[in-house]
């Protein structure tokens, strides 16, 4: 009788349960209740980690008060033993006592590990299941292995939900986990995901493979497992409540990618243009792992970042002429028949912001650096008819790029002796702490300074240029424009550039604040003070006043070809 009613309850819950459960920890029950009170309105599905409490049994009166006040909330009680990766130092019997008390207190679900089930008597488990919904769980904190064998073990014990959590050490581990879910979720109530930074695919896409819910941290800093993203990110960035079988999967692949701003920017674009798609950060430690994943998930498109921009070319069925010329691909499209096509949108990321401000035909442009970004700049600018000079720390690299792109090599010693229409910093100098500059003040003889570095938003080089009244272009514009072009290639729709720029600016501000620095002015504000056409990034449709301003700011190029190069 009891057993039947619990099964019935869990069937109801399957459809009632939200997709995101927020785990809460604290040594003091008052602290857990306080956090729960502040979160429950937006997060009606919570997990109380009773194993973090100094004395779990003593905490129940406070927890009961919360449960009585919030009948709308579904709350899991978990008291994981230390031997199984939790904090509870007691025996399996002591754990059962806590969970039984939790059931009597009003928790709807309890989580109990397979290892505890193996110690307890079968009847003890049946008794527990008669009182409360039971999640029987297994956690592998190192690998994703033997999923089927573990599941067979789990099935030996009565439970309402079977929860299997592993650790992804490759992207393909996510595929294994989702195949496992697909094989069993029609028959059993399953919760499964991979922990670790590489487990993000399973955290977001696991729900469409059959996991009834997943876990999201209350805030950054309150994670209870490696790789856990916040509940807010799951809902707002990855739109987990809407992920379904038709959702297209995109991502940024590289090593590392954990701090990439591409997911927040591209997911915003998909949401704004109502494209049923999700964009994930894929930490690929090898191209082989990446390709195995691309084929099996299946992924429709990828942004390719360091260190795979060159390596990826060998795997492409075809690519555009510019990608072949540059020898680097940052955008991948997977066609219906599985073939991979490559594009390079870094070129657009550099050319578009420059073209919005000056005519490139005949313009004199210095590129500092000779790596991947410099290659995109050199070939892109030459195609537009610019006169391109390349200076670099290692002269041989600059000479080689100059030769290949039909540009001119410039000795560093000569940089200060010339004037330019634009100088582009294509080195990482200035990134992070913002205290270094690739050029000295006296070398900044230019009308436009484009720093491809975008974090921090205002580098030392940008500050130096502003102090000399040079018009500046931030690396954020390149970042947004290369992403906008990717969005257009993938969806065939115009990219919502203003929204993309806005969220990236906000993310950079948060980053700066977290690093204890004053946030740099967002591009919109910078654009107010900036007489150049930078306003265009803040709004795709510039105002009439903005257009006039931008037109007035379109200067003549330095030295020669003055009339020919002014944009009319
Ligand atoms: P890369 O291929 O590694 O090339 C780096 C270049 O910078 C090389 O020419 C290198 O000179 C030079 N360099 C490195 N450290 C230096 C130092 N301490 N002093 C002087 N020169 C130095 O990198 P990449 O892909 O071209 O990217 C370069 C930078 O562009 C990135 O760090 C990033 O900030 C920026 N970027 C921005 C975007 C965007 O969307 N805004 C996109 C791509 C890149 P050697 O030849 O002597 O090694």
- Concatenate the DSSP letters of all residues of 156-190 into one string: TS--SEEEEEEE-SSTHHHHHHHHHHHHHTTTS-E
Model confidence at 539, pLDDT cuts 50, 70, 90, reads very low
- pLDDT surpasses 80 at 559: no
Which pLDDT value is given to residue 517? 55
Q: What is the model's pLDDT at position 13? A: 53
- The rounded distance, in Å, linking the Cα atoms of 83 and 326 is 54
Shortest-distance Cα residue to atom 23 of ligand 1: 371
The answer to whether 300 and 294 are in contact (CB under 8 A) is no
Identify which of 345, 373, 449, 474 to mutate to test ligand 1's pocket (most ligand atoms within 8 A of the CB): 373
479 CB near ligand 1 (under 6 Å): yes
Neighbours of 513 (CB within 10 A): 11
Q: Using the predicted structure, report yes or no on whether residue 566 has a pLDDT greater than 50.
A: no
Torsion of CA 242, 108, 88, 115, to 10 degrees: -80
- Residue pair 143/169 in contact (Cβ under 8 Å)? The answer is yes
Question: Is the Cβ atom of 392 under 6 angstroms away from ligand 1?
Answer: yes
Which residue has 């949401």 as its token pair?
271
Comparing C-alpha atoms, which of 373, 369, 388 is closest to residue 438?
A: 369
Do the beta carbons of residue 389 and residue 410 sit within 8 Å? yes
To test ligand 1's pocket by mutation, which of 428, 435, 486, 507 has the most ligand atoms within 8 angstroms of CB?
Answer: 428
Residue 454 near ligand 1, beta carbon < 6 Å: yes
Residues 211-257 have pLDDT tens digits of 999 999 999 999 999 999 999 999 999 999 999 999 999 999 999 99
Report whether pLDDT(61) > 50: yes
Instruction: Provide, rounded to the nearest whole percent, the portion of the chain with pLDDT above 70.
Output: 88
Name which of 276-285, 386-395, 428-437 the model is least confident about: 428-437
Report, as an integer, the average pLDDT of 139-159.
97
Does residue 369's CB lie within 6 angstroms of at least one atom of ligand 1? yes
- Residue 94 reports pLDDT greater than 80: yes
CA 178 centroid distance within chain: 20
DSSP letter, residue 277:
E
| Residue 217 tokens, joined | 């941290």
Can you give the pLDDT at residue 512? Answer: 82
Least confident of 140-149, 305-314, 454-463, 556-565: 556-565
Strand partners, 318: 341
- Residue 560 pLDDT exceeds 50: no
Which of residues 75 and 541 earns the better pLDDT score? 75
**Distance from Cα 68 to the centre of ligand 1, integer Å:** 58
Average pLDDT over residues 432-439: 89
20 alpha carbon – ligand 1 mean position (Å): 40
Catalytic machinery residues: 309
Residues 6+ apart with CB under 8 A from 259: none
Helices 497-514, 262-272: inter-axial angle, 10-degree rounding: 150
Testing ligand 1's pocket by substitution, the residue of 393, 402, 473, 479 carrying the most ligand atoms inside 8 A of its CB is: 393
For residue 300, which phi and psi values (nearest 5 degrees)? -85, -30
Q: What b/e sequence results for 364-393 when a residue is b if at least 16 CB atoms lie within 10 Å of its CB, and e otherwise?
A: bbbbbbbbbbbbbbbbbbbebebbbbbbbe
Copy the structure tokens of residue 311: 């390596």
pTM of the model: 0.86
pLDDT value at position 258?
A: 87
What b/e sequence results for 34-53 when a residue is b if at least 16 CB atoms lie within 10 Å of its CB, and e otherwise?
A: ebbeebbeebbbbbbbbbbb
Residue nearest (by alpha carbon) to ligand 1 atom 31: 428
Ligand 1, atom 17, lies closest to the CA of: 429
**Mean pLDDT on 368-374:** 95
Alpha carbon of 426 to ligand 1 centroid (Å): 5
Ligand 1 pocket residue status of 174, Cβ below 6 Å: no
Q: Is the CB of 374 under 6 A from ligand 1?
A: yes
Strands 318-319 and 340-343: parallel
| Residue 40 confidence (pLDDT) above 70 | yes
| pLDDT score for 15 | 53
Report the SS3 class of residue 7: helix
374 CA distance to ligand 1 middle (Å)? 8
Residue identifier of the C-alpha nearest atom 20 of ligand 1: 393
Does the C-beta of 427 come closer than 6 Å to ligand 1? yes
Question: Using CA positions, which residue lies closest to atom 8 of ligand 1?
Answer: 371
Q: What is the pLDDT of residue 188?
A: 96
Mean pLDDT of 76-97: 97
pLDDT-derived band of residue 515, with 50, 70 and 90 as boundaries? Answer: confident
Cβ-contact 98, 74 below 8 angstroms: no
Q: Is the peptide bond before 298 cis (omega within 30 degrees of 0)?
A: yes
Please report which confidence band the pLDDT of residue 564 belongs to, taking 50, 70 and 90 as the band edges.
very low
What distance in angstroms lies between residue 429's CA and the mean position of ligand 1's atoms?
7
Q: In what order do the strands lie in the sheet with 161-167?
A: 190-195, 161-167, 133-139, 109-113, 74-78, 45-49, 20-24, 214-215
pLDDT at 421 over 50: yes
Ligand 1 lined by 428 (C-beta under 6 Å):
yes
Q: Please state the atom number of ligand 1 nearest to the C-alpha of residue 425.
A: 30
Q: Measured in angstroms, how far is the CA atom of residue 427 from the centroid of ligand 1? A: 3
Judged against a pLDDT cut of 60, whether residue 533 lies above it is answered with: no
- pLDDT reported for residue 429: 96
- Quote the CA–CA distance of 222 and 215 in Å, as a whole number: 12
Question: How much is the pLDDT for 298?
Answer: 79
Q: What is the mean pLDDT of residues 517-526?
A: 38
Peptide bond into 309 cis (omega under 30): no
Cα→Cα distances 131→75, 76, 77, 156, Å: 15, 13, 13, 19
Residue pair 325/347 in contact by the 8 Å Cβ criterion: no
Residue 509, classified by CB atoms within 10 Å of its CB into exposed (0-12), middle (13-18) or buried (19+), is middle
Residue pLDDT, tens place only, 288-337: 999 889 888 879 999 999 999 999 999 999 999 999 999 999 999 999 88
pLDDT interval class at 453 (50, 70, 90): very high
- 429 touches ligand 1 (CB under 6 Å): yes
483 Cβ below 6 A of ligand 1: no
Mean pLDDT, rounded, of the chain: 89
Evaluate: CB of 370 within 6 angstroms of ligand 1. Answer: yes
């Amino acid at each position: 009788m009891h057993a039947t009613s619990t099964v019935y309850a869990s069937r109801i819950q399957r459809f009632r349960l939200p997709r995101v459960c927020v785990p809460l920890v604290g040594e003091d029950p008052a602290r857990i209740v306080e956090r729960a009170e502040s979160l429950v309105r937006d997060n009606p599905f919570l997990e109380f980690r009773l194993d973090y409490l100094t004395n779990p049994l003593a905490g129940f009166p406070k927890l009961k008060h919360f449960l009585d006040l919030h009948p709308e909330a579904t709350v899991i009680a978990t008291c994981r033993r230390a031997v199984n990766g939790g904090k509870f130092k007691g025996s399996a019997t002591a754990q059962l006592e806590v969970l039984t008390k939790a059931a009597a207190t009003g928790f709807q679900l309890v989580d109990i590990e397979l290892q505890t089930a193996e110690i307890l008597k079968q009847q003890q488990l049946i008794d527990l299941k008669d009182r409360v919904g039971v999640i029987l769980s297994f956690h592998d904190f190192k690998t994703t292995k033997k999923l089927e064998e573990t599941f067979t073990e789990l099935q030996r014990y009565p439970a309402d939900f079977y929860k299997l959590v592993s650790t992804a050490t490759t992207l393909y581990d996510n595929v294994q986990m989702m195949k496992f879910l697909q094989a069993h979720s029609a028959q059993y109530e399953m919760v499964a995901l991979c922990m670790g930074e590489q487990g993000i695919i399973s955290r977001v896409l696991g729900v469409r493979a059959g996991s009834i819910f997943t876990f999201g941290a209350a805030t950054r800093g309150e994670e209870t497992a490696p790789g856990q993203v916040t509940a807010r990110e799951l809902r707002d960035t990855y739109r987990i409540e809407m992920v379904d079988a038709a959702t297209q999967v995109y991502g940024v692949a590289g090593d590392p990618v954990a701090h990439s701003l591409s997911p927040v920017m591209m997911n915003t674009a998909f949401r704004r243009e109502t494209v049923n798609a999700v964009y994930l950060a894929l930490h690929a430690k090898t191209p082989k792992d990446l390709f195995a994943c691309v084929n099996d998930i299946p992924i429709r498109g990828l942004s390719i970042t360091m260190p795979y921009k060159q390596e990826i070319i060998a795997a492409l069925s075809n690519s555009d002429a510019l990608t072949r010329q540059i020898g680097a691909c940052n955008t991948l499209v997977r066609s219906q028949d599985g073939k991979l096509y490559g594009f390079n949108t870094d070129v657009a990321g550099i050319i578009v912001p420059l073209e919005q401000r000056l005519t490139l035909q005949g313009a004199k442009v210095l590129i500092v650096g000779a790596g991947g970004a410099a290659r995109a700049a050199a070939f892109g600018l030459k195609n537009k008819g610019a006169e391109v000079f390349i200076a670099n720390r290692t002269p041989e690299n600059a000479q080689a790029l100059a030769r290949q792109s039909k540009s001119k090599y410039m000795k560093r010693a000569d940089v200060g002796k010339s004037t330019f229409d634009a100088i582009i910093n294509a080195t990482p100098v200035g990134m992070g702490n913002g205290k270094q500059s690739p050029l000295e003040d006296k070398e900044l003889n230019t009308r436009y300074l484009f720093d491809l570095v975008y974090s921090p938003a205002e580098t030392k080089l940008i500050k130096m240029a502003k102090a000399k009244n040079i018009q500046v272009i931030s690396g954020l514009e390149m970042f947004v424009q290369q992403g906008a072009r990717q969005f257009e290639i993938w969806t065939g729709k115009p990219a919502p550039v203003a929204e993309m720029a806005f969220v990236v600016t906000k993310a950079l501000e948060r980053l700066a604040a977290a690093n204890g620095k004053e946030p740099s002015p967002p591009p919109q504000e910078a654009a107010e003070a900036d007489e150049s056409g930078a306003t265009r990034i803040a709004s795709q449709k510039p105002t009439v006043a903005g257009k006039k301003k931008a037109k007035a700011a379109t200067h003549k190029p330095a030295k020669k070809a003055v009339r020919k190069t002014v944009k009319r």
